[in-house]
């Protein structure tokens, strides 16, 4: 009888970030930074002199190049795809433009309850197929040790842009729509949640190994409102993705929401800088991983301060398994690149 040797697949080590997502022990804390490829990088600004922002998002080869070059330059442990929250809204019938220097503008915002009827279901995810091509091209261009993170905006944050027609400080139109037209609000949120769910699954099918849900502006709500108007929809947005890969659920602005974010879903909960990491983690529960939370403006300080404040965040994580180092929100334009490098070196123990 011949014995057939069982061939073990060459055991490539599981990337640090994926292990941290699963609360497994790691040799060192993985680090990546929200908005790591943005306007603070001269290489990025040089590309943007030639190509408009939406055009860049719709050119997968260039989008992948931007992120791959950034990962190599910074030495971070993950690549988030280069894209944006808002292109998803175009096939849903919203007329999007990134006006020069002003951020996003939606020319046909949802203002009356009846307007929700014209927000289309995302029946065909190929309408944003360029994003899946970006996932594939980014994955193909990177070492296996660097996982690719896909992402989407959370239903509340997307609804905010749909209703305001752009960004806002107080989200007054969004919140008054929510209070005045509760059933139209839930209809809008449900449409967005289904679209986000399909979109995340499509990114995973294209090779995303983790996905992050950005609820960037939901911190303008208190916990009761979050539970009533948002939580069920964010849960739908994350549920299918969560059956397939680790998910990161991130919000800013109101630490009181942390236990509710956990309830809505996320193998990892993002913590912004308005609460100390140890306290935020306690609120989330130590049986969940967390990501965060250096204040982004610390990167405008001197090198020594960057080092010290980065070490303080690490000290608050206290070596517990399940910490992914990140900022408390995205890198701001104007951030000195050398301080970003200092942060990464500090986390890596250099
Ligand atoms: O070149 C330019 O002028 C465009 C600047 C830019 C960039 C680089 C925008 C416009 N989006 C992005 C890329 C982007 N956006 C990434 C890719 C990865 C990276 O840079 O590393 C990601 C993950 C996003 C996500 C995004 N877009 C968020 C969530 C993250 C966050 O910071 O909260 C949000 C809120 C947006 C909306 C958006 N995109 C861009 C602008 C100016 C805005 C509006 C921000 C606002 O409402 O104030």
Taking only the tens place, the pLDDT of each residue in 113-165 is 999 999 999 999 999 999 999 999 999 999 999 999 999 999 999 999 999 99
Residue whose CA lies nearest to ligand 1 atom number 4: 53
Is residue 9 scored above 70 in pLDDT?
A: no
**pLDDT at res. 215:** 98
CA distance 308 to 172: 38
The verdict on the CB of residue 168 being under 6 Å from ligand 1 is no
Residue 100 — very low, low, confident or very high, per pLDDT cuts 50/70/90? confident
**Residue to substitute in 83, 84, 150 for testing ligand 1 pocket (most ligand atoms within 8 angstroms of CB):** 84
Express each pLDDT in 184-231 by its tens digit: 999 999 999 999 999 999 999 999 999 999 999 999 999 999 999 999
**pLDDT at res. 99:** 86
Please indicate whether residue 48 is annotated as part of the active site: yes
How far is Cα of residue 88 from the mean position of the Cα atoms in its chain? Answer: 14
Residue whose CA lies nearest to ligand 1 atom number 37: 85
**pLDDT at res. 191:** 98
Query: Could you give the angle at which helices 337-347 and 60-74 cross, rounded to 10 degrees?
Result: 60
Which of 73, 84, 225, 244 does the annotation list as catalytic?
A: 84
Going from the N-terminus, what domains does the chain have, and what CATH number goes with each?
A: 42-247 (3.20.20.210), 271-350 (no CATH)
Query: Residues 184, 113: contact at Cβ < 8 Å?
Result: yes
Residue 301 — very low, low, confident or very high, per pLDDT cuts 50/70/90? very high
Please indicate whether residue 272 is annotated as part of the active site: no
**pLDDT at res. 12:** 81
Query: Residues 151, 145: contact at Cβ < 8 Å?
Result: no
Residue 300 token pair:
């405008």
DSSP 8-state secondary structure symbol assigned to residue 31:
B
- Among candidate residues 50, 127, 140, the one with its CA nearest the CA of residue 91: 127
Which of 40, 161, 226, 229 does the annotation list as catalytic?
A: 161
- Average pLDDT along the chain: 96
Kindly tell me the burial class for residue 169, based on how many C-beta atoms sit within 10 Å of its own C-beta (0-12, 13-18, 19 or more). Answer: exposed
Helix, strand, coil percent content, the chain, rounded in steps of 5: 50, 10, 40
Please indicate whether residue 161 is annotated as part of the active site: yes
**Counting atoms of ligand 1 from 1, which one is nearest the CA of 101?**
3
For residue 54, the CA-to-ligand 1 centroid distance in Å is 11
How many CA atoms, within 13 angstroms, populate the side-chain half-sphere of residue 217? 19
Express each pLDDT in 227-253 by its tens digit: 999 999 999 999 999 999 999 999 999
Is residue 80 scored above 60 in pLDDT?
A: yes
Residue 6 — very low, low, confident or very high, per pLDDT cuts 50/70/90? low
CA distance 227 to 257: 9
**pLDDT at res. 102:** 78
Query: Residues 44, 38: contact at Cβ < 8 Å?
Result: yes
Residue 127 token pair:
């309408």
**Counting atoms of ligand 1 from 1, which one is nearest the CA of 214?**
29
The verdict on the CB of residue 39 being under 6 Å from ligand 1 is yes
Please indicate whether residue 191 is annotated as part of the active site: no
Express each pLDDT in 16-65 by its tens digit: 999 999 999 999 999 999 999 999 999 999 999 999 999 999 999 999 99
- Among candidate residues 214, 149, 212, the one with its CA nearest the CA of residue 15: 149
The verdict on the CB of residue 330 being under 6 Å from ligand 1 is yes
The verdict on the CB of residue 73 being under 6 Å from ligand 1 is no
Q: What are the Cα distances from residue 305, in Å, to 5, 234, 278, 295?
A: 56, 37, 20, 12
Is residue 317 scored above 80 in pLDDT?
A: yes
Is residue 3 scored above 80 in pLDDT?
A: no
The verdict on the CB of residue 36 being under 6 Å from ligand 1 is yes
Kindly tell me the burial class for residue 114, based on how many C-beta atoms sit within 10 Å of its own C-beta (0-12, 13-18, 19 or more). Answer: exposed
CA distance 8 to 131: 34
Round the CA-based radius of gyration of the chain to a whole number and report it.
20
């Amino acid at each position: 009888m011949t014995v057939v040797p069982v061939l073990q697949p060459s055991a490539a080590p599981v990337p640090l970030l994926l292990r941290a997502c699963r609360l497994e022990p790691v040799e060192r804390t993985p680090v990546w930074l929200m908005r790591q490829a943005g306007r603070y990088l001269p290489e990025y600004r040089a590309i943007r002199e030639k190509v408009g922002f939406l055009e860049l998002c719709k050119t997968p080869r260039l989008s992948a190049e931007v992120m791959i070059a950034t990962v190599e330059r910074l030495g971070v442990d993950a690549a988030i795809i280069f894209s944006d929250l808002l292109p998803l809204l175009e096939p849903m019938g919203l007329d999007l433009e990134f006006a020069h220097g002003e951020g996003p503008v939606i020319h046909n915002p949802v203002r009356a309850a009846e307007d929700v009827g014209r927000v289309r279901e995302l029946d065909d995810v190929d309408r944003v197929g360029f994003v899946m091509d970006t996932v594939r091209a980014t994955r193909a261009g990177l070492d296996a040790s660097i996982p690719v993170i896909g992402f989407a905006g959370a239903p509340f944050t997307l609804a905010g842009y749909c209703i305001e027609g752009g960004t806002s400080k107080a989200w007054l139109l969004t919140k008054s729509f929510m209070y005045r037209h509760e059933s139209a609000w839930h209809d809008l949120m449900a449409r967005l949640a289904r679209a986000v769910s399909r979109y995340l699954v499509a990114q995973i099918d294209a090779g995303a190994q983790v996905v992050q849900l950005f609820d960037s502006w939901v911190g303008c709500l208190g916990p009761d409102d979050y539970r009533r108007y948002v939580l069920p929809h964010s849960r739908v947005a994350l549920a299918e993705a969560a059956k397939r890969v680790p998910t990161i659920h991130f919000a800013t602005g109101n630490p009181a929401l942390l236990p509710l974010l956990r309830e809505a879903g996320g193998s990892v909960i993002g913590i912004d800088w308005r609460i100390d990491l140890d306290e935020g983690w306690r609120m989330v529960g130590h049986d969940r991983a967390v990501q965060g939370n250096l204040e982004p403006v610390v990167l405008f300080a001197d090198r020594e301060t960057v080092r010290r404040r980065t070490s303080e965040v690490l000290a608050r994580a206290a070596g517990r398994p399940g910490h992914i180092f990140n900022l408390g929100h995205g890198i701001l334009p104007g951030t000195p690149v050398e301080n970003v490098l200092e942060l990464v070196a500090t986390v890596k123990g250099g």
